[in-house]
Structure 1
Amino acid sequence: MTEGRVVTLVATYIVVAVLLVGGTALLGLVVGGTVGTPDGVGIEGQSPAQFQPDRVNPDVDPETGRIAVERGDARILVDADHGNQFERSDLEPAVEAAFRAGHTVTFSDDVDSDQPYNRTLAGRSGLLVVQPTEGFSAGERAVIRNFTAAGGHVVVLAEPTQSRVSTGLFGGGATTVSFGANNLTESYGVRIGAEPLFNVDDTATDNNFKSIYSSPRGDDPLTDGAETVTFDAGGYVAVRRTSDAEVVYQSVPGTRTLDSRRAGQYPTVARTENLVFVADTTLLERSEVYDADNEAFVGNLLSFLAAGDAPEHLPGPPVTDGESDEDDEPTNETATPTNETPTPST
């Protein structure tokens, strides 16, 4: 092939390529398209909104503020004897805040295990119970009822039944974790609901569809400074209609139950005069305690515990052997059956 022939073929190829590119661009302009569309702009099919380019790095709640606790010298007991699902490190921010305010926090497994339960609670202002997986005995329930009747304060944090996956060197498995103290809280008119909650509205969660928002329902000291509380593993509180328990927080609109997909604004925090029930435990953890207004709410819970009366003499449960010492006198008050209205604390 001669040199002139080669040049002619190359020139023809270039002309055809230019015509194809130019024709494609011209056709795009005719049908209303654009040339050089920026990434992610004007592209169909990028729905829902969280997959749009400007949502690649969604906003998260700022972790600011501090845990403010009313000052004093209260003694608070943390239950650690009922298969409680927490690590002490989880509670360090709350324990530190209580310490700074002058209070003393003690874990029950640091107390003499041979000591009667009424003596363990005597002199305490508050009892904190976090996700126990084992039930309280009839005697313990009676003592706690006596404790709240004498002005002591109790805060219970619970989560609905959930499966947790564990891994190890030789494999893994799933275990079911359930709240075990409904036999205690039912006598106050509350128990943990049957399902976790979720919300798919980005503005109603903390960067995760299970990290739901809750807002106050009316005025209460527990809601001071805490307009938005986020629960990372939240459930709902089942409240008996005939009880004196009142709803303090409820989930925001758009919340649904995880399994049955029932929509509603579910109670997430309820209280009686001397007991508070919270349908989440994660808000105490260092990774969650400063999200949204969680630190203000945790401070209010600690202040509630510290504000309880500290009965120095606390009756124990009824005895059956006819013997009791001075600190273990029988009491006329026992745990209220779950099918009756609980007696209001005084």
Structure 2
Amino acid sequence: MKKFMVSGGGTGGHIFPALAIANELKATYPNCEIEFVGAQGRMEMERIPREGYTIHGLPIVGLNRQSMAANLKFPVKLIRSIAHCRKILKSFQPDVVIGTGGFASGPLLYVAQLMGIPTVIQEQNSYAGITNKRLGAKAKAICVAYEGMHQFFPKEKVHLTGNPVRPAILNSNTSAEESKREFGLDLNKPTLLVLGGSLGARRINEAIESLIDWAKEKDVQILWQCGKLYYEALETKLGNHPGVFLHAFISDMNKAYACADIILSRAGAGTISELAIIGKPTILIPSPNVAEDHQTKNALALVEKKAALLIRESEIDSRLEADLERLLQDEPRRKSLSEALLKLAIPDATQRIVKLIEPLIK
């Protein structure tokens, strides 16, 4: 019986690809066994079991880049996690181990490589993190979503597969009219979709709040995922504001995308892969608070292809209103952005990854 072990977590950007790969492996090998490894206390420990998979939790934590004192326990937790990975791998004996990122991926892939178990890395970003760069030397295959990734990894191991995208996005046939009705939007007004991630983005929320009068003047409605950390305060402040449709979190993203005429978003790798499938004109505002500033690098990869606009967070107050207004008034520009973005889509990414895993099975 074929066995696979998958690790990916911390954020949806790591969990969704891990689940997509696991589900595709299950479809390809119906009798296979799949187990996950995650970090204790992180969202994968709840999300993965809901999908019907067993998950093992490691005591691993990430490095705190703001406080060195907070890292004092890191070496101990890393050593304990490595020891736990060895026990898990000896017990389960997987044919292949796949890592999609997150705190637990590093220890698991490291131990698997020491034990001679084939490993596959799925690097979502345009700039590889330190852990994946180190693990790449011994990985059997490295699946990437951007060109030029051989600068981080051995060239012969790098495969341009794209990032797995949720089936609900890939297979969506929802119409804009139907989706607007579901969200209570005006069918005839242009819609700005604002996405700051599941927790929200303070600076994006502040900027959108300051744009509400402008949006009313321009007859633009705002479908706004503000994040659960900010929802209550914004709802109290805005009340039932006409033209502003506030949500802590939008679960039916395929319907939200269908509503949008322009999208304002962070630049996480998973989100960018979804945006490429959707092909709507997009302004990216990367988070500056991520490792290696990888969101800015993700955004720049699209800007170089003329597939999106980029506003740095430090420029948001001076540029956002003007850039939005220009884009609203420039239909040819919106069309060219959409066409360029659609060219970057890789809808069969998950299948490509599984095909690379197949030759590694004993």
Q: TM-score scaled by structure 2? A: 0.31
Greater Rg over alpha carbons, structure: 1
Which structure exhibits the higher relative contact order, with contacts defined as CA atoms closer than 8 Å and separated by 6 or more residues? 1
